[in-house]
Amino acid sequence: MKVDIFIDSGTPSLNAKFVNTNLGKASSMRMLKGLGNKDFSFLESDTYLNYREAYIDFLSNHKSYYNYCANLDIIHNPKESFANQKMMEKAGLKPIPVFHIGTDFKWLKRMLDRGHKFIALGGGLAEAKQKTFPILDFIWENYLTDKDGYPIVKVHGFGITAVPILVRYPWYSVDSSVVVMRSAYGEIIIPKMRDGKYRFDIPPYLVNISSKYDKVGGENNAKYFGRLTREEKDYILKYIDYCGFEMGKSKYVKVKHSYKVKENEREIKKGLIERKLENGLVNDRFVRCVFNYNYYLNLKEILTPFPRKFKIKSIASRDLFMDSDVVVRSSRKFKSRKLKFYLSADLDLALEDSYLKQSLEKGFGYERMYSFFYLSQEVKKHLKAIRTFRKEVTKHEERQHKEI
């Protein structure tokens, strides 16, 4: 089992801090239309220039700790992104260039003309809405695949979790923080069933299984496990058992406001604690994280390995982008491999350690994306964690080899 590390520049966080502070979260349509605050005066600030220098220095001095790194791309500013690409290459790095949806296609063409074998797509890809399909269909059909529909480059999709988008396009790799985010809020991902088989290639059910939300209330109560029908509960419990996980069990105890929480307890609210009796999905976000990641591992197993053929042709996409500079490109041969799904989120070291250990126990791979925007705040701790991960994986593989 391999530990595969991808270092991202932290562009979304950087953009939110310097550019979109007054715009709220970027929507798919905002990205598609190229909308947003286009005041890039921050590019001349010492904060940005120091950040860029630190990112390049970090990557240059720690090449043995990662497999891939992304360009320091500036959203809606392809010229500055291209300048950073060349600067990083001059420093001896091999950053993956990033094309943002809503940017002029000439910049995507430039990436291909420069001979990049691996590129990334970003911006507005998280949601599987019909309005996002035409532009993605157009890009894949006219830039990223040959005349037979096979990829001519490896493509990474930033922030992709929506199953229809994962299934529709022949990605080489994707990343998403949704596994961690849903786990933190008590949610688990449950596949639907068709003809007696679990289907991981269609949108799943989302169920809030943490009893914390039943005790204190919250927006997720509508799909809380405790309020489902007996038939729905049985379906979920059967899948949990199928995956080899445990529900867990907790006891809720009223205490004095001055009560000090113990190791196997957590405070739900003042005067109420949860005491873990059996560790499992209902009371451990670490376990939920691994469980949810397992859903995407199952999806990986049923997807045709890369390079798979892009079969869907959208007539609407041709009408929307008739004036684009489309070029027919020659085929390129790639080794067959399963989709890479990088877990991306800013995690504390306790979660990193727990997630790794449970991944080892379940026999999962560990594909992890770190954002430099957060990594730079505790570089030494994270480096130590990565080093520990690699050592533990090596030891695990050596033990398995001896057993065989």
DSSP-derived letter for residue 369 is: E
Three-state DSSP state, 357: helix
The yes-or-no verdict on residue 89 having pLDDT over 50 is yes
The 10 Å Cβ neighbour count of residue 1 is 14
> Where residue 219 falls among pLDDT bands split at 50, 70, 90?
very low
Residue 144 neighbours by CB under 8 Å, 6+ apart: 151, 152, 153, 155, 310
The number of C-alpha atoms within 13 Å of 269 and in the hemisphere containing its C-beta is: 7
CA 368 vs CA 26, 216, 344, 346: distances in Å: 24, 33, 6, 11
Q: How confident is the model at residue 25 (pLDDT cuts 50, 70, 90)?
A: very low
| Chain mean pLDDT for the chain | 79
Q: What are the CB-based long-range contacts (under 8 Å, 24+) for 269-277?
A: 269/215, 269/216, 272/215, 274/211, 274/212, 274/250, 275/250, 275/251, 276/248, 276/249, 276/250, 277/249, 277/250, 277/251
Distance from C-alpha of 231 to C-alpha of 168, rounded to nearest angstrom:
32
pLDDT digits (tens, 9 = 90+) for 382-402: 667 667 766 766 676 666 656
CA-CA distance, 353 to 65, in Å (whole number)?
Answer: 17
3-state secondary structure 126-164: CCCCCCCHHHHHHHHHHHHECCCCCECCEEEECCCCCHH
pLDDT confidence band for 282 (50 / 70 / 90): confident
What kind and span of H or E run contains 175? strand 173-176
pLDDT value of position 29:
41
Q: What is the pTM of this model?
A: 0.82
Q: What is the pLDDT of residues 34-65, one digit of tens each?
A: 444 567 788 888 888 999 999 999 999 888 88
Parallel, antiparallel, or unpaired for β 187-190 and 3-8? Answer: unpaired
Do the strands 272-278 and 249-254 form a parallel or antiparallel pair, or are they unpaired?
antiparallel
Q: Give the H/E segment covering residue 5.
A: strand 3-8
DSSP state of 337: B
Residue 306, SS3 per DSSP: strand
Angle (nearest 5°) at CA 71 between 381 and 174 = 80
For residues 66-93, give the mean pLDDT: 93
Domains located in the chain, CATH noted: 3-180+288-403 (3.20.20), 181-287 (no CATH)
